[in-house]
Amino acid sequence: MWPESRCFAAMKNTLTALFLCVGLTTFGQASVAYYPFNSVVSVSTNADRAVWLDARVQTNTVFGSLSTTICPMVNVVRRQNVNYYTGVGIRFNALNGLDNRDVLEGYSLHVGVRAQVPFFPSLRVAFELAPYSRKDFKVGIMQSYLGLVYQFKKRV
């Protein structure tokens, strides 16, 4: 396979995964989060379920780096107004194939909490700690996320 065709295949797989995630959220409960200090937008399946999926995209770049993180999450403790969760993340960048670099960038471990705002039940505050390591495990950083989440409700 030529490098360009590998890149387009990776981009096709990335777009398919994102559209699948958006499709799942369209037909059920979903949430959208924004982490302003990290410039990250997140779309999640129903975070009130025991297991849920989160897809994150950096918003502070103009196609120079399209880093995307897919995180399957597990709620460890679920209460009426707060969820404590953990999960692993796989970070990839479909545009790396253009420069003959590996699409896979690294891995992360997420531990966080989402709490409802008392006067606006669809709005939540999210806080996470997420150690991140490059794919070769030679460099790592501790990431923290603080943001707002809007939880859509399924119409009956």
56-78: pLDDT as tens digits = 988 876 656 678 899 999 999 99
Q: What is the pLDDT of residue 25?
A: 46
Examine residue 156 and state whether it is found in any structural domain, yes or no: no
The proportion of the chain whose per-residue pLDDT surpasses 90, expressed as a percent, equals 47
**Above 60 in pLDDT, residue 9?**
no
Total of domains in the chain: 1
Examine residue 62 and state whether it is found in any structural domain, yes or no: yes
C-beta separation of 114 from 85 below 8 A: yes
Tokens linked to 53: 């999926």
CATH number, residue 29: 2.40.160
94-111: pLDDT as tens digits = 777 777 788 888 999 999
Please choose, from the candidates 34, 30, 52, the residue with its C-alpha nearest in 3D space to the C-alpha of residue 42. 34
H/E stretch holding 5: helix 3-26
Q: What is the pLDDT of residue 17?
A: 56
Examine residue 110 and state whether it is found in any structural domain, yes or no: yes
Backbone angles phi, psi at 97, to 5 degrees: -65, -25
Examine residue 136 and state whether it is found in any structural domain, yes or no: yes
Task: Supply the pTM of this predicted model.
Answer: 0.76
Q: What is the pLDDT of residue 45?
A: 93
Residue 129 to residues 4, 58, 92, 141, Cα–Cα distance (Å): 36, 17, 19, 11
Cβ neighbours, 10 Å, residue 137: 9
**Above 50 in pLDDT, residue 1?**
no
Examine residue 33 and state whether it is found in any structural domain, yes or no: yes
Examine residue 95 and state whether it is found in any structural domain, yes or no: yes
Average pLDDT value for the chain = 82
Domain that holds residue 55: 3-151
